[in-house]
Amino acid sequence: MTIRDVTDVHEEFGGERLPPGQSETAEFPVLSKGDTPEFDPETWTFTVTGAVETELRYSWAEFQELPTETQRQDFHCVTGWSRLDNDFRGVPFPTLAERAGVDDAAAHVMFTSLDGYSTNLPLEDCMRDDVLFALELDGEALPPDHGGPLRVVTPHKYAYKGAKWVTGVEFLTEQERGYWEQRGYSNTANPWNEERRSSL
């Protein structure tokens, strides 16, 4: 199995591999806004909507047929811990964007989840090969409490920008704020600048 190592992403942002204010852990703490939602593979759907040429809809079986790759990534939680060298297998964000055909007017993205969670990112922050819709972690199906069956991973951002239990992506022409962003968390979430809370 080929693994693409993207743990050097910190170099792009001019920082050390372990961002300031972070402590490395071998554990993988579980942090969510609420309880783990129920996943039913027979009724689960994933949608791509908004400012696109073709809206997409996938069943669980269909989503698993999409092309994937495995990447070695670091994972930085806004609460101050980092887990390094995680092997995530998933569908790169640009793969879905290319299939949908992103409208020229699209500038932002909103991710939505089974539990009602949402988070937003500028389109340019999503159109990176290291933003994955992750199905597996370290060779195993992604555990439910870590966002399984499907979560987003964003190694260049704090992890609240990577929605657990993700079920949809909406391409937006105007910025909207997600669950934690509405509650005072940073809209930009750059770990190397310690952008944890909003300045607004």
Calculate mean pLDDT across residues 160-188: 95
Per-residue pLDDT of 3-62, as tens digits, reads 999 999 999 999 999 999 999 998 876 655 667 788 999 999 999 999 999 999 999 999
Residue from 68, 127, 65, 122 nearest 98 by CA: 127
pLDDT at 81 over 70: yes
pLDDT at 198 over 90: no
Residue 28: per-residue pLDDT: 78
Residue 34: per-residue pLDDT: 63
Dist CA 83 CA 123 (whole Å): 26
Q: Measured between alpha carbons, how far is residue 102 from residues 2, 134, 162 in Å?
A: 29, 21, 20
Cβ burial 39-69 (10 Å sphere, 16+ → b, else e):
eeeeebebebbbbbeeebebebeebeebebb
**Structure pTM?**
0.94
Residue 33: per-residue pLDDT: 60
Residue from 119, 108, 122, 181 nearest 151 by CA: 119
Residue 35: per-residue pLDDT: 74
Q: Does domain 3-14+47-193 have CATH number 3.90.420.10?
A: yes
Kindly indicate the confidence band of residue 1, based on its pLDDT and cuts at 50, 70 and 90: confident
Residue 11: per-residue pLDDT: 97
Residue 29: per-residue pLDDT: 61
Calculate mean pLDDT across residues 148-162: 96
Per-residue pLDDT of 101-147, as tens digits, reads 999 999 999 999 999 999 999 999 999 999 999 999 999 999 998 89
Instruction: Assess contact for 118 and 178: CB atoms under 8 A.
Output: yes
Residue 73: per-residue pLDDT: 98
Q: Is the dihedral of CA 124, 72, 60, 117 positive or negative?
A: negative
